Amino acid sequence: MAKTKKEYPLNQVHRLLQSGPVVLVTTSNKGKANIMAMSWYTVIDSDPPKLAIVISSDNYSFKALRSTKECVINIPTVKLASKSVSCGRSSGKEVDKFKTYGLTALPASKVKAPLIGECYANVECKVIDMKMVEKYDLFILEVVKVWIDPVKRPQKTIHHLGGDKFMVAGNVIRV
Ligand SMILES: Cc1cc2nc3c(=O)[nH]c(=O)nc-3n(C[C@H](O)[C@H](O)[C@H](O)COP(=O)(O)O)c2cc1C
């Protein structure tokens, strides 16, 4: 083992591996729309596109997703950093997050959960497998529709580094 390396805590390894953009998951249950921040997800197939996402059973969004089996994954940019984090530090149990954080709910085309108008991309999803929900809070989703702002990339997405630290993407290199 290189002497220049030091041991890294096992329970922090997700900080090294999980660098996808922070996203905002919207659900709609019994007419009530909600938003939560999410970092723990991965693509597991591209055609048809499928995702695996982890939503803690403590979260209000968990019950909404489990019963409606539909959500939208909205991708914010740095302009929405503060509102996005607020969506991850408050619960739909107590707060109407669309109203409180001034975000716009737009109708989706294939699911009842709303799109967040201010996000640059919106991914409509349906739950297709809940076998791992009990054990790992893990839902398998199929993407059924995707919307994107017709602006040039790269987008300045935000990536959680732990605590109150975020990295902003945006540089593109060709290798
Ligand atoms: C940057 C960030 C990323 C988060 N990622 C996740 C995640 O992947 N899974 C999860 O269950 N909670 C995650 N959370 C926490 C939830 O967003 C938080 O518990 C939220 O209050 C849940 O809202 P709800 O009760 O309205 O569903 C994250 C929070 C932040 C700030």
Please tell me the distance between residue 160's alpha carbon and the centre of ligand 1 in angstroms.
Answer: 12
Task: State which ligand 1 atom lies nearest to the alpha carbon of 40.
Answer: 8
Q: Domain with 32 in it: what CATH number?
A: 2.30.110.10
Task: State which ligand 1 atom lies nearest to the alpha carbon of 55.
Answer: 11
Structural domains of the chain, count: 1
Report if residue 152 sits inside a domain.
yes
Output the tens digit of pLDDT for each of the chain's 175 residues.
667 988 878 887 777 777 689 999 999 999 999 999 999 999 999 999 999 999 999 999 999 999 999 999 999 999 999 999 999 999 999 999 999 999 999 999 999 999 999 999 999 999 999 999 999 999 999 999 999 998 777 899 999 999 999 999 988 899 9
Report if residue 161 sits inside a domain.
yes
Q: Which domain holds residue 83?
A: 23-168
Report if residue 5 sits inside a domain.
no
Report if residue 15 sits inside a domain.
no
Task: State which ligand 1 atom lies nearest to the alpha carbon of 89.
Answer: 21
Report if residue 71 sits inside a domain.
yes
Tokens 């979260």 map to which residue?
59
CA distance 65 to 55: 9
Tokens 């990295």 map to which residue?
167
CA distance 72 to 40: 15
If DSSP codes are grouped into helix, strand and coil, which group holds residue 90? Answer: coil
Please tell me the distance between residue 71's alpha carbon and the centre of ligand 1 in angstroms.
Answer: 15
Pairing of strands 115-116, 121-129: unpaired
Q: Which of 153, 78, 74 is nearest to 121 (CA)?
A: 74
CA distance 121 to 110: 15
Report if residue 151 sits inside a domain.
yes
Report if residue 1 sits inside a domain.
no
* Model pTM above 0.85: yes
Report if residue 135 sits inside a domain.
yes
- Within 6 A (CB) of ligand 1 lie 22, 34, 36-40, 54-56, 59-61, 85, 88-93, 160
CA distance 119 to 162: 22
| Contact (CB, 8 A) for 145 and 110 | yes
State the distance between the two ends of the chain, measured CA to CA, in whole angstroms.
Answer: 30
